[in-house]
């Protein structure tokens, strides 16, 4: 690793500290239109972090709330008909009101309902797109998706596609994996924090999308806030994994770690290049 890479990583770590402080100071209100499997974990992750969750996901309310929320998550994990309508309504309202929103295109690719919806939402102005490598490739229409919610593609082989997708949509694209990649098409960062236990509990990735929405709602530079959210989330996961006996105790330890993570923890543990 070059000195330039080291210096850039140090700057990003300090930006992560500032972004975390901003989230704690402003307690952003995050509207989460997310899947039924992870609603409770997602809400608790936002609360632990210091944000305020609102699971407003029905038509005639979703758009109203998106106008007053600090940030919005749209997660396609279990997209029933009513929720799909709420997603479109909320995204339209967010665009009109300037509310930053995160698109998490869960399991897109071959599935015939969520995939066309994801492509429509992709072109509706998300601030951030977050997914695994296979989901990002499918959203860019250069891949067929993974095995359900699991990626079958490698993060690094997705790097150029992610950058192209970012330039095409104007969104920051975050590709989750053993090393997370974040790009806005011009800047790219790789976050080396996290733990495999995140993949062995329900909601490990989905809650990250909500955390990205919280950070976006408390800061202006979407690239920096997305890197910061990824760093804080990964550092908390490492701290929790060191205390947990396994996937059963990890979620509780993770929520505790999200609540406790601070500047000193981020500076001590963050690895960004």
Q: What is the pLDDT of residues 195-246, one digit of tens each?
A: 999 999 999 999 999 999 999 999 999 999 999 999 999 999 999 999 999 9
What pLDDT, on a 0 to 100 scale, did the predictor assign at position 145? 59
pTM value?
0.95
Question: Taking Cα atoms as reference points, which of 161, 87, 162 lies closest to residue 124?
Answer: 87
Domain that holds residue 190: 3-269
SS (H, E, C) 113-159: CHHHHHHHHHCCCCCEEEEEHHHHHHHCCCCCCCECCECCCCCHHHH
Q: What CATH number is attached to the domain comprising 168?
A: 3.40.1190.20
**Starting at the edge strand that comes first in sequence, how are the strands of the sheet with 128-132 ordered?**
52-54, 29-33, 71-75, 101-104, 128-132, 172-176, 180-183, 188-191
Is pLDDT of 20 > 90?
yes
Say how far apart CA 246 and CA 23 lie, in whole Å. 29
76-88 burial, b at 16+ Cβ within 10 Å, e below that, comes to bbebeeebbebbb
- In angstroms, rounded to a whole number, what is the distance separating the alpha carbons of residues 273 and 188? 9
Compute the distance between CA of residue 90 and CA of residue 34 in angstroms, rounded to an integer.
12
Q: What is the mean pLDDT of the chain?
A: 94
Domain count, the chain: 1
205 DSSP assignment? T
Residue 124 has pLDDT above 60, yes or no: yes
Mean pLDDT along residues 123-136 = 96
pLDDT at 110: 82
> In this structure, is the dihedral angle defined by the CA atoms of residues 56, 59, 61 and 62, taken in order, positive or negative?
positive
CA angle 76, 16, 108 (to 5 degrees): 15
More confident residue, 71 or 154: 71
Classify strands 188-191 and 180-183 as parallel, antiparallel or unpaired: antiparallel
> What's the pLDDT tens digit per position in 72-118?
999 999 999 999 999 999 999 999 999 999 999 999 988 999 999 99
Higher-scoring residue by pLDDT: 144, 36: 36
């Amino acid at each position: 690793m070059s000195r330039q890479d080291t210096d850039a990583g140090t700057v990003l770590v300090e930006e992560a500290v500032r972004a975390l402080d901003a989230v704690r100071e402003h307690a952003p209100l995050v509207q989460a239109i997310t899947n039924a499997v992870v609603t409770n974990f997602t809400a608790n992750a936002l609360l632990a972090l210091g944000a305020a969750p609102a699971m407003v996901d029905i038509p005639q309310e979703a758009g109203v709330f998106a106008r007053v929320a600090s940030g919005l998550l749209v997660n396609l994990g279990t997209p029933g008909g009513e929720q799909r309508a709420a997603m479109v309504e909320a995204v339209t309202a967010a665009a009109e009101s300037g509310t930053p929103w995160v698109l998490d295109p869960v399991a897109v690719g071959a599935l015939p309902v969520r995939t066309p919806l994801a492509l429509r939402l992709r072109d509706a102005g998300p601030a951030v797109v977050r997914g695994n490598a296979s989901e990002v490739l499918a959203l860019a229409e250069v891949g067929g998706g993974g095995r359900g919610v699991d990626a079958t593609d490698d993060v690094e082989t997705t790097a150029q596609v992610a950058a192209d997708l970012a330039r095409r949509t104007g969104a920051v694209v975050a590709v989750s994996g053993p090393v997370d990649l974040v790009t806005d098409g011009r800047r790219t960062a790789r976050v080396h924090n996290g733990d495999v236990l995140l993949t062995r509990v329900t909601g490990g990735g989905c809650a990250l999308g909500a955390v990205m929405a919280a950070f976006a709602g408390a800061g202006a530079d979407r690239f920096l806030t997305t890197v910061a959210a990824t760093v804080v989330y990964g550092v908390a996961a490492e701290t929790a994994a060191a205390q947990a006996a396994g996937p059963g105790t990890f979620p509780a330890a993770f929520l505790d770690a999200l609540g406790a993570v601070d500047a000193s923890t981020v500076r001590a543990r963050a690895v960004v290049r």
